């Protein structure tokens, strides 16, 4: 009996925080292809179509996105094309070749007025352009049908790229005082955890007893467990810094949202209920503080 050919997995946005981690985590599932931005420009539908039809992958993982939340308020067209329209093009191409599509969305599809973590069937109500564009992307995929997994996540960070962890580590060395918003809550989520959970979920659907037919498709919340404010996150980063003698700021100052105005309005509650993901894929999701400790320990070892 001949061995089935390993699936080919195409990853967009491979140079980003999640994309970079996906290259390693997905390698155990098949052959990973990571086209450059020039080859797959999510703002240019023709490049998407050309690349998908040339590669004909078994799985498409869309880790590319427009993520500059404040800049999106004045770059509505570009943000909408990348986050809202490109996922629909990817879904069309995936359906045409019978491929699975994995796509990432955000807690910013909600307005944050809930007193409890949001579930997948709660009504979205984005407060900003970025959130509206990501919601449009979700709906474009759902309307196309086919086989897909949409993962909403939140407060993504990692040891590389542009993110809150790296910003706080830099600023705590440059400034004696850091004023951090304390009345927005969420679950900081490590990019490596997102990639590992994605690989786990894909393994489940690809190795199902019956061939993929779209019946296992769906929308899932995928974040770390626990909760904290941006202030809590910042102070935990400072407290766990692997090189404390370099710090100028040891204690952040909590402030209210209205003391730190931004172009885009943020939800006060970004917590997502991950029960559906945990029950469907039989995977526990660790507390955000445990994840942060692992990242900081890795920085201590490698820097």
Q: What positions carry a catalytic annotation? A: 130
Residue 6's CB is within 10 A of a number of other CB atoms, namely 11
Q: Which two tokens stand for residue 267?
A: 């939800």
**Residue 185, CA distances (Å) to 60, 88, 92, 99, 213 in order:** 32, 31, 36, 36, 38
Backbone angles phi, psi at 248, to 5 degrees: -95, -30
Listed residue (157, 241, 153) closest to 201, CA to CA: 153
Helix (H) or strand (E) holding 70: helix 69-72
User: 3-state DSSP: the chain helix, strand, coil percent, rounded to 5?
Assistant: 45, 15, 40
């Amino acid at each position: 009996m001949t061995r089935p050919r390993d699936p080919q997995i195409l990853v967009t946005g491979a140079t980003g925080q999640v994309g970079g981690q996906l290259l390693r985590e997905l390698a155990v599932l098949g052959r990973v292809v990571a086209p450059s931005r020039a080859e797959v420009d999510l703002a240019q539908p023709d490049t998407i179509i050309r690349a998908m039809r040339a590669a004909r992958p078994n799985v498409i993982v869309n880790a590319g996105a427009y993520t500059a939340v404040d800049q999106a308020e004045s770059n509505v067209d570009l943000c909408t094309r990348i986050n809202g329209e490109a996922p629909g093009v990817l879904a069309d191409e995936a359906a045409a070749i019978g491929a699975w599509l994995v796509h990432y969305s955000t807690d910013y599809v909600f307005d944050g007025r809930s007193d409890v973590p949001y579930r997948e069937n709660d009504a979205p109500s984005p407060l900003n352009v970025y959130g509206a564009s990501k919601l449009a992307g979700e709906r474009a995929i759902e309307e196309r049908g086919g086989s897909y997994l949409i993962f909403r996540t939140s407060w993504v960070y990692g040891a590389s790229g542009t993110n809150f962890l790296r910003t706080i580590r830099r600023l705590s060395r440059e400034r004696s005082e850091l004023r951090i918003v304390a009345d927005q809550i969420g679950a900081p989520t490590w990019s490596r955890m997102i990639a590992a959970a994605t690989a786990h979920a894909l393994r489940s659907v690809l190795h199902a007893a019956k061939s993929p037919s779209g019946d296992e498709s769906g929308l899932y919340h995928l974040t770390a467990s626990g909760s904290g404010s941006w202030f809590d996150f910042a102070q935990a980063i400072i407290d766990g810094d692997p090189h404390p003698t370099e710090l100028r700021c040891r204690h952040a100052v909590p402030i209210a949202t209205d003391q730190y105005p931004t172009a885009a309005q943020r939800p006060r509650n970004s917590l997502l209920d991950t029960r559906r993901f945990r029950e469907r894929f039989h995977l526990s999701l660790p507390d955000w503080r445990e994840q942060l400790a692992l990242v900081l320990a890795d920085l201590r070892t490698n820097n």
